[in-house]
Chains A and B, each alone.
Chain A
């Protein structure tokens, strides 16, 4: 053996034979294994685009159309029944929006749909904006005076008068146009985002599938942080040394409804698990599962728990803020767990680049 080792040529041959043997065996065995991650990633992205994002975007645009119609009805006749119908339509629209938020990536994020629709309420601006005469005037308004928060204030605040109803109808029409544009972007056949992720278009906005996957993971993490810090934390304050302390909060009127939180966590859950009503649909957890089944199980559990904890919340969250309701703490803890699992273990096992790799490792 020492004599063999002293001959580099023989050693090299043996090494090459060993490596070739390993590759041959691996290629043979790998045939039994599930698809490689690149193939799986492609399948997951296609399924998410085709089975979840595109139908949800269409549903969102449909909800927006229904809300516009209900507002038009309200303008024609301002009675309590029609106001209640408009409120229901808005709630449905808002829930669909929350379920869709995980897909605000790429051009859907840079297109600032979220900023135009989900901005913080500008109460003073809203009071003067109501006098806006037409769609052009509405188009020039800031998001804080016509977005979801403003719509919520008009619908659920003091009973709206004629000016408010007319303004609502104008705003609803613009929202509908925005959401139709969003749905077009996610169309699985022609949309710049939807078709690219579904694989029927090659000029997508992402350099590759990894970038697209990372965009979805990053959006999920950002949403989990926002839900915990802006959605749940104001309800319970910080648990500090066992003492619950409440923070002063400008709790957005549009976020007062339990349905808002439930829909948000359903959106996250479906992004991770895949479309619930489509056979064979896949979500990001299929990728996590390959890397770590334990993490996949933990994330699945955390999201299921979060949805059930949100469903257990009182319907009107603002009313619950002053109470020591254990359901609030349970929901907050569930939201913390979702944030932790998505932001640490999922990011870790998928080796997701969150945009701050400005250094070498080790």
Chain B
């Protein structure tokens, strides 16, 4: 296959605005005072497997990391050593994100991935006033396709995640969330109308599964992009999801024609460069293309791993993270731990996790079985260090998912302190009670 060289303007503008978004995202943490509660106050962190060495560091390191992200975002936007800037952003952003499971967010994962792609991609061919030695303004079209693949993967996986009875047959959790806005002028009446959540749910499903393809087809691109803008503006207005709508809207511009920024008035760059055969300096090697495709394929497979364990993924959450299951559940949990010495006359204690964990950690752990397990192990170690022997740790945990009444989450008879479940083992998690699909009646009293 012959490598095609296309205008680097689209990729350049994406890189520029991505840098701005990274800077804004980091600045929000500094301005909103989130760094202390999320990174400095925790006395225990829920580490990812193999990453328990990764800490946030002392305050000057933590604040410095966010300040550096603000600066680096600006430098990336201005095109200063874009690969180096992107690499530093990738490292620092990923560091922040991987410190604690309680801080997991789908869109932070996407930001890390996009930063990673920008380490490799030649994104300094346009909109890079500080770039040095810019020899060419074209890029191999394969870079755009790989990035489109990354963004398309997010949409399709998010769409597949919506193929769930709660979403399709009960319109949950949209029903709950839209209901909180039913006092809005005009739209409030729409949100109150019984079919509306279902219309939103099904439209969201169709949108996620189709929008990457509609963006690719020239005939439907404009309509799809307009719909995408409306969709993400609506999610930004309705839900507290930070920079996610803006990241996704920006990422969708990669699906537009490579020279689309040059068609805008007043940008100040010269006309479209058209397409040509990629010169040697621009060309992406076949092995690199294959590696890129393999990485995307691996992500696609990894995102579906949650379907392997038996039971409802939204309940047991085995394989939930890094799988692009966006906005598909409203879940609240409540947990208390019972620590005891398993011998006659042994000591016992009931542990309220709020004594040690931050409110965010408590809230996240209470609804996520693997975090309950992590904390149970920690409690065992903590009590053993305090001289307790034959320590058992059990959890009294409840969760409410998508408007269901609370139900027990983790088996209260299992000693979690020493449990080492396999990836597919969810026997220590109680099954989600059967959900009755019925028309909600008796509204109001």
Contacts and interface: CB of A to CB of B under 8 A. Distances in A.
A339 B183 CA distance: 29
B45 to A, nearest CB: 15
A240 B338 contact: yes
A247 B348 contact: yes
Contacts of B405: 294-295, 297-299, 341, 345
B193 A30 contact: yes
B173 to A, nearest CB: 9
B186 A293 contact: no
Contacts of A360: 105, 107, 240-244
Contacts of B342: 241
In the complex, which of the residues B105, B177, B182, B196 has the most CB atoms of chain A within 10 Å of its own CB atom?
B182
Contacts of B222: 8
Interface stretch (A176-184, A282-290, A308-316): A282-290
Nearest to B179: A291
Nearest to B393: A240
Given A40-B444, A286-B445, A340-B406, A23 B189 contact: yes
Given A2-B219, A26-B189, A36-B192, A362 B359 contact: no
A240 B392 contact: yes
* Range, interface on chain A: 35 or more
A290 B443 contact: yes
Given A37-B182, A293-B440, A359-B34, A238 B331 contact: no
Given A26-B189, A292-B176, A238 B338 contact: yes
Interface in A4-31: 5-6, 8, 11, 22-23, 25-27, 29-30
Interface stretch (A82-90, A116-124, A258-266, A349-357): A349-357
Interface string B401-445: 001111000001101000000000000000000001000111111
A239 B183 CA distance: 45
A244 B396 CA distance: 14
B194 to A, nearest CB: 8
A137 interface: no
A317 B176 CA distance: 41
Interface string B18-37: 00000000000000111001
A301 to B, nearest CB: 9
Nearest to B192: A30
B189 A27 contact: yes
Interface of B is mostly: mixed
A38 B415 contact: no
A33 B193 contact: yes
Interface secondary structure of A, over-half rule: helix
A245 interface: yes
Nearest to B29: A359
Contacts of B398: 336, 340, 343-344
B38 A349 contact: no
Given A26-B189, A295-B400, A238 B183 contact: no
B352 interface: yes
A261 B189 CA distance: 43
A292 B352 contact: no
B180 A351 contact: yes
B54 interface: no
A36 B188 contact: yes
Contacts of A358: 32-34, 37-38, 359-360
A361 interface: yes
A5 B403 contact: no
B23 to A, nearest CB: 16
A237 B223 contact: no
Nearest to B362: A356
Contacts of A274: 445
Nearest to A5: B223
Given A229-B352, A242-B413, A289-B442, A355 B223 contact: no
Contacts of B183: 36-39
B327 interface: yes
Given A11-B223, A356-B359, A233 B443 contact: no
A62 B406 CA distance: 39
20 contacts: A23-B187, A23-B190, A25-B193, A26-B193, A238-B338, A239-B412, A243-B340, A247-B350, A290-B444, A292-B404, A297-B405, A336-B398, A349-B400, A357-B240, A358-B359, A359-B38, A359-B103, A362-B105, A362-B241, A362-B327
Interface of B: 32-34, 37-38, 103, 105-107, 175-177, 179-180, 182-183, 186-190, 192-194, 196, 199, 219-220, 222-223, 226, 239-244, 326-327, 330-334, 336, 338, 340, 342, 346, 348-350, 352, 359-360, 362-363, 366, 392, 394, 396, 398-400, 403-406, 412-413, 415, 436, 440-445
What 7 A-B pairs are tightest by C-beta distance, nearest first? A38-B183, A298-B405, A360-B242, A356-B359, A340-B398, A345-B400, A34-B444
Given A5-B219, A290-B179, 7 more contacts: A22-B199, A291-B403, A337-B406, A355-B359, A356-B363, A359-B38, A360-B243
